Amino acid sequence: MAELVIIETVLGVAFNKLVEAVDHVEHGLCMSDSALVDLKRTVDRLKPKIDEIVLLNQRLENSSDEEIRELVLKAEQIVRKCSEVAWWNYWRKYAYSKKLRRLDLSLRRLIEIDLQLDQRITMMQVSAQVEDLRRSVLMETRERKSGRKIFIRSRTRILRVVSSVKRSVLTTPSWIFLCFISLFKIQNWGYQKLTRYAPTTLKFHSYDQGLLQSWTVRKPHRRISHK
């Protein structure tokens, strides 16, 4: 992480030095060169993108801007050397003008191609992360729905059984229930009568047996007359 911070700091400092060098040369001897004017416009256009790259790379912990840093440092050196060219040295001014134009083309390529590709890659990474998040949420939602479906199915089965019992009770004729109720009452009444009068019945039965025995013992024998 410390190395990443150093790289980002170097990139920001290098680009700021490039901007300062271009401003210095613009107000110096080479200010009439069209190549330097084009380079100044390109640098001004590139500055917010470089600042954004520095911030995004710090957040994403990405250190893939080494090529940008080297290009910025090279541009800063060329611009500094251009400021040292004397106004009468047209040959060196022409040579540095060609270098400035090549530098401007490189920076434009960085803006139009490399930065767009980096943004495209970043968008693809974000899209991939969003897709993974969507799939995980969809899977979790399906699991919840499946669990809820099982609960609903079991509850539906219970309700079907209860409704079938209720339907059978409601569709059964009333005289059948009356017969069942009467039969239950009769059985209950007979059981109560049996338990209530059983000792008395046994008592009378034993009393009758005793009378029968006593009558049999006391009964006189008939005498048979013999003629």
What is the per-residue pLDDT for 29? Answer: 47
Q: What percent of the chain has pLDDT over 90?
A: 0
What is the per-residue pLDDT for 219? Answer: 45
Q: Tell me, rounded to whole angstroms, the distance of Cα 152 from its chain centroid.
A: 23
CB atoms within 10 A of CB 38: 17
188-227 per-position pLDDT tens digit = 555 455 455 444 444 444 444 454 444 444 444 455 454 4
Average pLDDT value for the chain: 63
What CA–CA distance (Å, rounded) separates 40 from 18? 10
- What pTM does this model have? 0.36
Residue ranges of alpha helices (H) inside 27-173 are: 34-60, 66-83, 90-109, 115-171
CA-based torsion, 109, 113, 115, 116: positive or negative: positive
What is the per-residue pLDDT for 54? Answer: 66
53-63 per-position pLDDT tens digit = 666 665 555 54
